[in-house]
Structure 1
Amino acid sequence: MAEIILFHSVLGLRAGVADAAERLRAAGHTVHTPDLYDGEVFDDYPTAMAWVKSNGGFAELAARTRAAVAELPEALVYAGFSNGGCSAELLAATRPGARAVVLLHAALPLEALDVQGAWPADLPVQVHYAAEDPFRDEQHYLDAFEAEVLASGSGYEFFEYPVSGHLFTDPGLPEEYHPEAAETLFSRVLAFLEQVDRRP
């Protein structure tokens, strides 16, 4: 079974993250859910984004991201929702020993994360997005990230769901939540983790 670190979205460590972690634990995985916001939780994106900006922005989040794994082993699966996907990408690209990456409603080319160099060789990635995600970056960002991963020789899976909303997996966001899409997403994540477990 995998040891996973699952990073929360820009809205903070909401109950939806705990729910996702429990799904993974029920399948036998070990899951860590660090709180990068020191207890702050938000219900809307503008307020959350303003809080991040006023508390050091990306540089501070990156520092907190690195601190979150200081006591953890290197052989981790990195996963994250939205902003947490950026945390997962950052660590996977810069910390040795990563086993796989799961990006939920997030994906950026390494340059956008101020990461120099190539994607690590043989580090598989799975990406999930709503077709009508209002925060989905321009298609060339996704294309650039896919190209970086494939150029390393790593596996790359991309799944798009015919729904709207950003965090469509979070039951606590009724205007965005799509239960059927969420069930499909988590089934795909669990299948991906089974593949990771079978890797030497």
Structure 2
Amino acid sequence: MTEIVLFHSVLGLRPGVLQTAEQWRAAGHVVHVPDLYGGAVFDGYDEAFEFLEKCGGQDELLRRTDAAVDGVRPDVVYAGYSNGVISVVHLVTSRPGARGALAFHGSVPVRVVGAELWPSAVPVQVHEAELDPFREDDANREFAETAAASGAEYHYFGYPGVAAHLFADPSLTGEFDAEAAGLMHGRALEFIAACEDRGR
């Protein structure tokens, strides 16, 4: 059993994130799914980013992130969908003890959260559609270089031919890719199991 904290994307706590949590619980894990938006959920990216800015932007997002893990043990796996990866990187670099990190739909440099280093003991997987419209190759490269420089175990998985961003969310009918989502979830479960073994 691994304890996991899963953060939603900029669109809020959509059904796809909750389904991921249920899959992991069915596999025997404990999963926390914070709602950093207080119930707000969006179908479009423009309105979601506008909402986030009105809430206070990244500073407020990170404040809510810290509050969400208050009382949660430190030796967990952090996972995030898209914008939720910012919360993952923040916690891994500021809260010692993480067992692993899962970055779904892209990654961000550690400097984005005011950090300089990635902990060498924290393995990380990054998953991203090959043709993701939000793909930022420079950001991915910078994060990969930082993780590699620390000596951490790092794996990047691209999904060829997939042109959507949140391709693993079945509630987004225009983006969902069942084959890629299944592959991503299978890899994530293997990673979580390896983190469980590492913690024994």
Superposition TM-score, scaled by structure 2 size: 0.97
Q: Match of 2:35?
A: 35
Residue by residue over 1:71-90, the C-alpha shift from the partner in whole angstroms, topping out at 9 and shown as x without a partner, is 10111100000111111111
* Aligned positions of 1:68-107 closer than 5 A: 68-107=68-107
The answer to whether structure 1 residue 174 and structure 2 residue 168 are counterparts is no
The CA distance in 2 between the partners of 1:62 and 1:106, in whole Å, is 18
The CA distance in 2 between the partners of 1:192 and 1:62, in whole Å, is 25
- Does the CA contact (< 8 Å) of 1:86 and 1:106 recur in 2? no
Structure 1: tracts of 5 or more residues without a match: none
* Percentage identity across paired residues of the two chains: 47
- Does the CA contact (< 8 Å) of 2:106 and 2:140 recur in 1? no
Task: Tell me the secondary structure at the aligned position of residue 11 of structure 2.
Answer: coil
The CA distance in 1 between the partners of 2:98 and 2:194, in whole Å, is 15
What's the offset of the Cα at 1:196? Answer: 1.1
Residue by residue over 1:6-40, the C-alpha shift from the partner in whole angstroms, topping out at 9 and shown as x without a partner, is 00000001111110001111111100000000110
The CA distance in 1 between the partners of 2:55 and 2:198, in whole Å, is 40
What's the offset of the Cα at 1:114? Answer: 2.1
What's the offset of the Cα at 1:199? Answer: 1.2
The CA distance in 2 between the partners of 1:58 and 1:48, in whole Å, is 13
- Does the CA contact (< 8 Å) of 1:18 and 1:33 recur in 2? yes
Q: Match of 2:187?
A: 188
Residue by residue over 1:31-51, the C-alpha shift from the partner in whole angstroms, topping out at 9 and shown as x without a partner, is 000000011010100000000
The CA distance in 1 between the partners of 2:173 and 2:188, in whole Å, is 22
Q: Match of 1:152?
A: 150
Match of 2:159 among 151, 158, 161: 161
Q: Look up the equivalent residue of 2:168 and give its one-letter code.
A: T
The CA distance in 1 between the partners of 2:153 and 2:146, in whole Å, is 11
Q: Look up the equivalent residue of 2:186 and give its one-letter code.
A: S
Q: Look up the equivalent residue of 1:59 and give its one-letter code.
A: D
Q: Look up the equivalent residue of 1:149 and give its one-letter code.
A: A
The count of corresponding residues between Structure 1 and Structure 2 is 198
Q: Look up the equivalent residue of 2:133 and give its one-letter code.
A: P
The CA distance in 2 between the partners of 1:71 and 1:136, in whole Å, is 34
Superposition TM-score, scaled by structure 1 size: 0.97
Structure 2: tracts of 5 or more residues without a match: none
- Does the CA contact (< 8 Å) of 1:11 and 1:42 recur in 2? yes
Q: Look up the equivalent residue of 2:16 and give its one-letter code.
A: G
What's the offset of the Cα at 1:99? Answer: 0.6
